[in-house]
Amino acid sequence: MKTKITLLAIMLFFGYQVANAQNNEECMTKLSIFSELAKAKNFDAAYEPWMYVRTNCPSLHKAIYSQGEDILEHKIEKATGAQKVAFLNDLIKLYAERQIHFASSTPAGEYDTKACQLQYDNKEILGLTDMQLYACFDAAFKKDEKNFTNPKSLYTYFSLMVDLYDAGNKPASDLFNKYDDVAEKIQIEIGNYSEKLNELIEKEEAGTALTKKESRYQRSYESYLKAYDQVATGVDKKLGDRANCENLIPLYQKGFEDNKTNAVWLQRAAGKMSEKECTDDPMFFKLVNAYHEISPSANSAYYLGILKDKEGRTNEALAFYEQAVGLETDNFKKARLNEKIGDKLRAKGRFSSARDYYMKSLRLNPSNGRPHLRIAAMYSASANDCGDTNFNKRAVFWLAADEAEKAGRVDPTLKKMAAQSATSYRANAPQKTEIFQENMAGKQINVGCWIGKTVTVPKI
């Protein structure tokens, strides 16, 4: 009896192996068929062999999911009504299946977000509410924030929060907290891509040509930075006046006692009041001092500098700003701090010191063109003060134009603005007729005062 059972087990085992081998052979054949059809964009013909492989051999090859996405997107585009809904739900299911069978190359933050965005883009036909959609994005963000990086989805996520707030379904505290979450995430991604782009910019500035691969990467990094810049602007615009001093101050007054030892809450509250120019209110002073007491940091030192500035104690303010820079360890954030300090000094008319901080910012983050535009604007504003003749005064505009053009070369988000600024500055500089009449073509002009630069007159 025992022998018969053993023989039966062996027969079943070999039968399974044969069947499995035949199944794998069939799957391989159909994988090849649907893959070639999908590459040729014959998605309708690819659908049946693709579904066979997806159903019977779901772990066979990643093409089941990458090309399967293309196949289903085609079906969705061509379908209507209930059939379209079915294909939409199947694509959402496909994203989940990919996470099961190819988890190591399928980050949850990326693919859960793709599923949420698909539902948002088709919310009418799927009959989904803003609350349901927000819950989808929120779960994806909390599950895997690191890989929740799609610029469009970051905007959608925050936009849904604003819509829920406007409808009375979310409180102001949730709105401002979510703004901080999304804004900080955007800055992290800008920092990541800026760091990658900076390496390529530094290589070019050193006189080494980029390889074809590096040039492709450069275009990709620039594209992402432009997208994140647009999203950052869109998020700020969407928040709009909802985060004004009239709303922020009572909210933080109400929450202070419960959060006076919560460093993250204090930092965000002080940061929001600083951004929205609510720094004259005593609540800002209260927030900053509480924050600095429990968590001395670059941010708290910077906010203390703002307080000293408000009191007219400029030198003490500058000392706190310097302390903020010294405390910051992240180069991207340090660059932003130097830029902010430069902005404050520029607003006070301290152009030479402002330029020093802008240059520090550029050394840390050369792909940010804003400091170049700020320096160009200061040159332009100083033209009448930094030349001894009318010609030499207007020659300063060549310096301004050159500086503006630098912004466009390094920063993809500023190319249009930089070009317009440079054109405007050059229009104010001496023209060909004046250069000829003054016999100045090709000569150098030493620009004095705080600028301290030499400009070469264009040849005609």
Please say whether the beta carbons of 369 and 407 come within 8 A: yes
**Is the pLDDT assigned to residue 210 strictly greater than 50?**
yes
Q: What percent of the chain has pLDDT over 90?
A: 87
Q: What does the pLDDT read at residue 388?
A: 84
Q: Residue 224: which of 245, 197, 206 has the closest Cα?
A: 197
Least confident of 4-8, 68-72, 368-372, 406-410: 4-8
Q: What percent of the chain has pLDDT over 70?
A: 95
Please say whether the beta carbons of 148 and 225 come within 8 A: no
**Is the pLDDT assigned to residue 90 strictly greater than 70?**
yes
Which 3-state string (H, E, C) describes 242-256? HHCHHHHHHHHHHHH
CA distances from 408 to 37, 97, 189, 366 (A): 44, 44, 21, 12
**In which element (H, E) is residue 456 found?**
strand 453-456
What are the extents of the domains in the chain?
1-106, 129-237, 363-460
- Between vectors from CA 402 to CA 433 and to CA 371, what angle results, nearest 5°? 145
Least confident of 13-17, 274-278, 368-372, 386-390: 13-17
438 pLDDT tier (thresholds 50, 70, 90): confident
Report the DSSP beta bridge partners of residue 446.
454
Tens-place pLDDT, residues 385-427: 998 899 999 999 999 999 999 999 999 899 999 999 999 999 9
| Averaged pLDDT, 349-355 | 95
24 pLDDT tier (thresholds 50, 70, 90): confident
Tokens 């240059």 found at: 359
**Is the pLDDT assigned to residue 26 strictly greater than 50?**
yes
In this prediction the pTM is 0.82
CA atoms of 87 and 52, how far apart (whole Å): 16
**In which element (H, E) is residue 454 found?**
strand 453-456
| Averaged pLDDT, 6-30 | 56
**Is the pLDDT assigned to residue 11 strictly greater than 50?**
no
Which 3-state string (H, E, C) describes the chain? CHHHHHHHHHHHHHHHHHHHHHHHHHHHHHHHHHHHHHHCCCHHHHHHHHHHHHHHCCCCCCHHHHHHHHHHHHHHHHCCHHHHHHHHHHHHHHHHHHHHHCHHHCCHHHHHHHHHHHHHHCHHHHCCCHHHHHHHHHHHHHHCHHHCCCHHHHHHHHHHHHHHHHCCCCCHHHHHHHHHHHHHHHHHHHHHHHHHHHHHHHHHHCCCCCCHHHHHHHHHHHHHHHHHHHHHHHHHHHHHHHHCHHHHHHHHHHHHHHHCCCHHHHHHHHHHHHHCCCCCCHHHHHHHHHHHHHCCCHHHHHHHHHHHHHCCCHHHHHHHHHHHHHHCCCHHHHHHHHHHHHHHHHHCCCHHHHHHHHHHHHHHCCCCCHHHHHHHHHHHHCHHHCCCCHHHHHHHHHHHHHHHHHHHHHCHHHHHHHHHHHHHHHHHCCCHHHHHHCCCCCCEEEECCCCCEEEECCCC
7 pLDDT tier (thresholds 50, 70, 90): very low
* Average pLDDT along the chain: 92
**Is the pLDDT assigned to residue 21 strictly greater than 70?**
no
Report the DSSP beta bridge partners of residue 455.
445
Task: Read off the amino acid at residue 359.
Answer: M
241 pLDDT tier (thresholds 50, 70, 90): confident
47 pLDDT tier (thresholds 50, 70, 90): very high
